[in-house]
Amino acid sequence: MLHLKKIELLERKYLNKYFHFLKFAEDELLLGFKTKEKIQDDWLGLYKSGISDFAVGAERIVYSLLNGKGIGQPNSCPVGADLFFEVQDAFIHIDLKTVGASLTGKTNIGDYTKNIFVGTNQNSYKGYMIVNEGGENEEVREYIPSLPTIYNKNKINEKVCLSYFITILYDKDTLDTLVMSIVCMPNGELEPHYKTRVLQAGKNLDKTRFRFTNIPDFELLEENKKRIKVVYFDKKMDENYKKKLSFFEELFDNQ
């Protein structure tokens, strides 16, 4: 059985690996996000999906670079995040989250600044969510993810399950990238330590959000503790955005 500190050491190890890869590929990523603009007249107004016109293209760029890097063996298991790799000492799930912000119309920036939606196939954190915390109708709701905390648990070939999210905030009016980060969600074996601080109830009974600003550190480690790494922060963004993104700017400046 893996010791909890060893789990956090592995979480930090691969967070740093993917952060440095994304920093190395930063120019290619930002350029790739803009390639849609060259043919904008041919697709603008035709995209009718329920997700943003930024998300699909961004996923294509990020996933092509990560797959091409060859970190680990892709796994064909149908239960998992969009990217699922096996490495020597872990199974790694990676998913991309994009959120649109606007200074002129409806903005979802609140979905980026404090927590993000995570799917049951993207994490292993079985725990409890406090609904309407502090209110008269406060209740505790159990959350059950689909991923195991340890693959092949208690067998000779057991490996920890790691969950990462690449998060992108973009301007819906200009389609410019504002912030790009990578964050590590705690493995479910760490629930006795982090308890209810990790999860926030979603709109539906089986949905949850990861409250990453509530636990920004690997709390069992003594150094290099941040669970969040900011790959890109647009220093030239509008000051109205900057005020709401001070958490990310401070991380970017001090990492």
Instruction: Give per-residue pLDDT as tens, 39-59.
Output: 766 766 665 554 456 677 888
Contacts of 46 (CB under 8 A, 6+ apart): none
Q: Name which residue leads in pLDDT, 207 or 84.
A: 84
User: Which percentage of the chain shows pLDDT scores above 70?
Assistant: 92
- Exposed / middle / buried, residue 83 (Cβ in 10 Å: 0-12, 13-18, 19+): buried
Rounded-to-integer distance, Cα 30 and Cα 38, Å: 14
Predicted confidence at residue 208, as pLDDT, reads: 94
Tens digit of pLDDT for each residue in 149-160? 999 998 999 999
pTM: 0.92
pLDDT at 142 over 80: yes
Q: How many domains does the chain have?
A: 1
CA 211/CA 118 separation, integer angstroms: 10
Handedness of CA 232, 249, 118, 20 (dihedral sign): positive
Q: Which domain holds residue 244?
A: 4-254
CA distance 255 to 253: 6
- Check pLDDT > 90 for residue 38: no
106-120, 182-196, 209-223: range with lowest mean pLDDT:
106-120
**What CATH number does the domain containing 127 carry?**
3.40.600.20
User: Is the pLDDT reported for residue 68 higher than 80?
Assistant: no
